[in-house]
Amino acid sequence: MTGSNGVAWDELAQRELLLAQAEHIVHLGSWMWNTETNAIRWSDEMYRILGYEARTTEPSVELFFGAIHPEDRARVEEVAARGVATRAPEPVDFRLRRTDGSIRHVHMEGAVVQQDGPLRIVGTVLDVSEQRAVAARLLRSEKMEAVGTLAGGIAHDFSNYLQVILAHARVMAGNPSLDARAQSSIEQITVAAGRCDRLTRELLSFARRTTLKRERIDVRALVDRAIPLVQTLVGSTIRVVHEKSGPGPLFIEADEASLEQALMNLATNARDAMTGGGTLTFLTTVKTAAPDEHAQEGAASVHLIVKDNGCGMSPAVVERVFEPFYTTKESGLGTGLGLASVFGLVQQLGGAIHVESQEGIGSAFHLRFPRAVDDGSVDDAHVRGYVLVVEDQDAIRGLVRDALDLAVHRQHLRRRADHLVEPAGA
């Protein structure tokens, strides 16, 4: 179209296109409601928020209110009715159930555009699901950090006292003059203190206060080695499988013993969820970090997924599953520290963990670790380090030198610290 009218139409079309693109980018739908005729119109993004393809069905007030979560519907209807009666719509937050069954959290606002005659209200529906998820993760992280700080401080002091108890119990156990009854009491003290010591170590693991021996580990090989132990742990009614997605070994920097214990804790949790038998699946793969993950965007990470088809967990249980001492088991059947220690280990290794669960279907624990660089050029078993030793005792210095020779490390020996001004290669 040419002429001034044509220019105006082109500008209008361009503005509508820009508005539609902006709505799509921020997930903001818009609508206009004639409260007298109950007719409603809405934008293409409004269709998408509800789970429809754009303009594939006729907009209606019944369609919109029917999509509101049943637990929120009465409240939203009350807010809408009050807004019409007072001609002052109020903002409201609620949940929508999309056509695919998924739940989205939205924020709706409205404004009156025609006071005289039929009341017309325009409004927006903003999908805030991602923002709520990020806020929930942050809150959960802060909560776990606070609990970990408290638990770690208590566990550290408690561990010191336990070591004193255990040490004295061992000394007393070696006393040949004690009768059988006294020896039995000492054994009970040692056993009980030993159990407390294990619980304390799990607490320290949750609080990320354990000392880890980091080494380059192939997660797939570790899982393969652990499968026979896991099978023995869970029993013959549960099938244990290892699914490998993608080629090659998957290396991470981790403490092998601690990671193996984490697998056992996850397997124990799965076993208790599958009282009637089932399948326990370990899935190992590599993925690229998404923008919303707490990792460098585009960086490769190793994923270990531990999945069962047991009884599953409610959202309330999922929310607290990694808290120390939280357990749904009967008294005496669990400490509530197994999953907490797994959480602490993964965090200490620079990874992340989350769980997906549905009651009656099962649970899946997703563990993500930074992938170790594997250029194939270095054999860890033959790495030679360079060690600087400063020791004024000749005998001790010689002993250290011999030990380093056995470890195939090059060493540079000096009697005093002020001799360090000499060139390192001297």
pTM value? 0.50
Does 382 have pLDDT greater than 70? no
Do the Cβ atoms of 353 and 266 come closer than 8 Å? no
Least confident of 120-129, 145-154, 158-167, 279-288: 145-154
Do the Cβ atoms of 364 and 347 come closer than 8 Å? no
Q: Which CATH class is domain 134-206?
A: mainly alpha
Q: Beta strand 238-244 with 278-288: parallel, antiparallel or unpaired?
A: parallel
Beta bridge partners, 285, equal 303
Q: Which two tokens stand for residue 17?
A: 């296109």
Q: Where in the chain is the domain with CATH 1.10.287?
A: 134-206
- Length in residues, the chain: 426
Does 355 have pLDDT greater than 50? yes
Tell which wins on pLDDT, 180 or 200.
Answer: 180
Do the Cβ atoms of 206 and 342 come closer than 8 Å? no
Whose CA is closest to 343, among 275, 258, 268, 282? 258
Task: Give the three-state DSSP class for 246.
Answer: coil
Query: Which pLDDT value is given to residue 378?
Result: 38
Do the Cβ atoms of 20 and 27 come closer than 8 Å? no
DSSP string, 233-289: HH-TTEEEEEEE-SSS--EEEE-HHHHHHHHHHHHHHHHHH-TT-EEEEEEEEEEEP
CA distance 335 to 4: 78
Condensed to tens digits (0 to 9), the pLDDT of residues 65-106 reads 999 999 999 999 999 999 999 999 999 999 999 999 999 999
Query: Which pLDDT value is given to residue 375?
Result: 42
Query: Which pLDDT value is given to residue 385?
Result: 57
Query: Which pLDDT value is given to residue 193?
Result: 81
Does 383 have pLDDT greater than 50? no
Query: Which pLDDT value is given to residue 302?
Result: 95
Condensed to tens digits (0 to 9), the pLDDT of residues 385-422 reads 566 767 666 665 665 665 665 554 555 555 655 555 55
Sign of CA dihedral 200, 205, 211, 217: positive
Q: Which two tokens stand for residue 233?
A: 């742990």
Does 7 have pLDDT greater than 60? no
CA–chain centroid gap for 243, Å, is 21
CA distance 381 to 131: 47
Do the Cβ atoms of 341 and 291 come closer than 8 Å? no
Q: Where in the chain is the domain with CATH 3.30.450.20?
A: 3-127
Query: Which pLDDT value is given to residue 115?
Result: 64
Do the Cβ atoms of 27 and 47 come closer than 8 Å? no
Residue with tokens 């949790």: 269
When pLDDT is cut at 50, 70 and 90, the band that residue 192 belongs to is confident
pLDDT averaged over the chain? Answer: 81
Tell which wins on pLDDT, 349 or 403.
Answer: 349
Query: What are φ and ψ of residue 57, in 5° steps?
Result: -150, 160
When pLDDT is cut at 50, 70 and 90, the band that residue 376 belongs to is very low
When pLDDT is cut at 50, 70 and 90, the band that residue 381 belongs to is very low
Query: Which pLDDT value is given to residue 33?
Result: 95
Query: Which pLDDT value is given to residue 373?
Result: 72
Does 146 have pLDDT greater than 90? no
Q: What is the CATH number of domain 3-127?
A: 3.30.450.20
Name residues whose C-beta falls within 8 Å of residue 243's C-beta, 6 or more positions apart in sequence: 281, 282, 283, 284
CA–chain centroid gap for 49, Å, is 27
CA distance 382 to 235: 40
- In this structure, the number of other CB atoms found within 10 A of the CB of residue 236 comes to 8
- In this structure, the number of other CB atoms found within 10 A of the CB of residue 385 comes to 10
CA distance 174 to 144: 43
CA distance 90 to 81: 10
Q: Which two tokens stand for residue 192?
A: 């009980």
Does 147 have pLDDT greater than 80? no
Task: Give the three-state DSSP class for 397.
Answer: helix
Whose CA is closest to 119, among 81, 78, 163? 81
Condensed to tens digits (0 to 9), the pLDDT of residues 104-122 reads 999 999 999 876 778 899 9
Query: Which pLDDT value is given to residue 391?
Result: 66
What architecture (CATH level 2) is domain 215-370?
A: 2-Layer Sandwich (3.30)
Query: Which pLDDT value is given to residue 117?
Result: 74
Beta bridge partners, 32, equal 41, 122
What percentage of the chain carries pLDDT values higher than 70? 73
Query: Which pLDDT value is given to residue 12?
Result: 78
Tell me, what DSSP letter sits at residue 52?
Answer: P
Contacts of the segment 171-174: beta carbons below 8 A, 24+ positions apart: none
- Mean pLDDT on 297-317: 88
Query: Which pLDDT value is given to residue 66?
Result: 95
